[in-house]
A and B are shown apart, each in its own frame.
Chain A
Amino acid sequence: DLQMTQSPSSLSASVGDRVTITCRASQNISRYLNWYQQKPGKAPKFLIYAASSLQSGVPSRFSGSGSGTDFTLTISSLQPEDFATYYCQQSYRTLGWTFGQGTKVEI
């Protein structure tokens, strides 16, 4: 199975902070990497696709980078509405799209 590993599992931050979340794939996935945001009791929200392309309507403070096996999600200036859990997900392997375990961003 193609495993996705996020770090850290959780982090504490303050409004205005720059936050970086890392996602590592167990094998080369080129740039087939997506990021989602999920708030408690809500469905995930699609933030970034193809490693660095911002989905329409997503604030520009969110950015993604990376290729191969190592990827990052960066929030340039954390806002109150950004406190949530973030998941990476690979769309490289058709039979078995997999998610990271999640990173909870809290105060």
Chain B
Amino acid sequence: EVQLVESGGGLVQPGGSLRLSCAASGFTFSSYSMNWVRQAPGKGLEWVSYITVSSSTIYYADSVKGRFTISRDNAKNSLYLQMNSLRDEDTAVYYCARDYWTGTAGNFDYWGQGTLVTVSS
């Protein structure tokens, strides 16, 4: 069974930093690209970042570019999101999601349960 378990969320002040982790199991992590997707309270879904198997290709949404860094450790079956210079509008539940290739990337077939990041003074 595919499982994705996020951790690392919490309360942080504006301008602060936080590192999210996603532990993967039940599939060959090193064979799949991965994503982070977020959802502000009561709002819709927003894709945040994408990383390929070898970390050779990385994409970010414009809203987080230059502030967030995605990375992975295939030996540890783990995905990470380093978030710096956090803003109020970064408050959201952050999901890690496996990428499902359908001829293009950007299809999210399995999701974790999410971790809440609250940016507030």
| Residues of A bordering B, CB below 8 Å | 32, 34, 36, 38, 42-46, 49-50, 53, 55, 87, 89-92, 94-102
Contacts and interface: CB of A to CB of B under 8 A. Distances in A.
B59 interface: yes
Contacts of B102: 49-50, 53, 91
Contacts of A42: 113
Interface in B92-113: 95, 100, 102-113
B11 interface: no
B95 A43 contact: yes
Q: Which 10 A-B pairs have the closest CB atoms?
A: A91-B106, A43-B111, A97-B106, A99-B45, A97-B47, A46-B109, A101-B44, A102-B44, A49-B102, A91-B107
A92 B62 CA distance: 17
Given A44-B45, A46-B109, A91-B106, 14 more contacts: A36-B108, A42-B113, A43-B112, A43-B114, A46-B100, A49-B102, A49-B109, A55-B109, A89-B45, A91-B104, A91-B105, A92-B104, A96-B62, A100-B44
B44 A44 contact: no
B103 A50 contact: yes
Interface residues of B, number: 22
Contacts of B44: 87, 99-102
A94 B35 CA distance: 12
Interface of B: 44-47, 59, 61-62, 95, 100, 102-114
B35 to A, nearest CB: 8
Nearest to B61: A96
14 contacts: A32-B106, A43-B113, A46-B100, A46-B109, A49-B109, A53-B102, A90-B106, A91-B107, A94-B105, A96-B47, A97-B47, A99-B44, A99-B45, A102-B45
A50 B109 CA distance: 12
B61 to A, nearest CB: 7
Given A43-B112, A46-B110, A55-B109, A98 B100 contact: no
Contacts of B104: 32, 91-92, 94
Contacts of A102: 44-45
